[in-house]
Amino acid sequence: MPHNCHLLLAALGLCACASTATRPPPQPPHSESVAEDRDATVALLLANTFQNMQRLTQAPAAEQAELLAAARASYEHAPQGGAQLRYALLLGTPGHPGRDVPRAQILLRQLVAQPETLAPIERAVALVELAQLERELGLKADNERLQADAQRGDHERAIAAAQRRLQAELDENAKLRKQLEDAQAKLDAVANIERNLTDRKNPSGGTAQ
C-alpha cells in the first residue's frame, strides 16, 4: 500500500478515537454546519495533497519541481496551519530530488506544538507523518553509526596490519644484521689465521729465501 494511503488510514483512525473520547457538547445547527463545511474542505485539501504525494513519486523531474514549488509558495503565503502541513508532507515524500526530511521534521514539530492551528484530521496526519519521519531519521542515524564503527574497525585493523609488517621487517633486518656480523667475524678469524701462519714462516719479518 502506498505511503500516503497508510498515512490517511492512520490519520482517520486517530481522528475517530479522538472524536469518540473528546466529543464536544452539542452546538447550534449553524455552528455544526460551519464545522462540517470546514472539515469537508480540509478533507478535500488533504486528499489532493495525498494525490500530489503520489504524483511526486512518479512524475517527471519538471513536474516534481512544479508541485513542490506550488506547495512552498502556499506555505510562504500563509506559513502555518494546513499550508505548512501540506508543504511538510510533500517535503517528506520519498522518491523525488527535492525531498528534505530534516526540514519536514522541523515543520511538523512546529505544527504539533501548535495543534490549535490544525483541524482534527490535520493534527492526526501531522502526528503520524512526524512519527514516521523520526523513525526513518533514527534508523538512518543508527546505520551511519554502524558504518562509522565498521570504518573505524577497518582503520584499526589496517594500522595493526601495517604495524605487523613493520615489525616483521625489523625482525628480518635484525636477522640479516646478525648474519652479516657472523660472516664478518668468520672473515676476521680467517685473516688472523693467515697472519699467524705468515708470521711463523717469517719470524724476522723478512722475505723467505
CB 59 within 8 A of CB 99: no
Burial class (CB in 10 A: 0-12, 13-18, 19+), 92: buried
Residues of the chain with pLDDT under 50: 1, 12, 14-25, 28-29, 207-209
Q: How far apart are CA 29 and CA 44, in angstroms?
A: 22
Q: How far apart are CA 177 and CA 203, in angstroms?
A: 38
Q: How far apart are CA 81 and CA 38, in angstroms?
A: 13
Give the per-residue pLDDT at 131: 95
Q: Count of CB atoms within 10 A of residue 124's CB?
A: 22
Burial 174-207 (b: 16+ CB within 10 A, else e): eeeeeeeeeeeeeeeeeeeeeeeeeeeeeeeeee
- Cell numbers representing residue 171 in the block: 625482525
Q: Cell 494511503 sits at which residue? A: 5
Give the per-residue pLDDT at 67: 93
Q: Count of CB atoms within 10 A of residue 101's CB?
A: 17
CA distances from residue 96 to 58, 65, 171 in whole angstroms, order as listed: 9, 9, 58
**Extended beta strands in 114-171, E state:** none
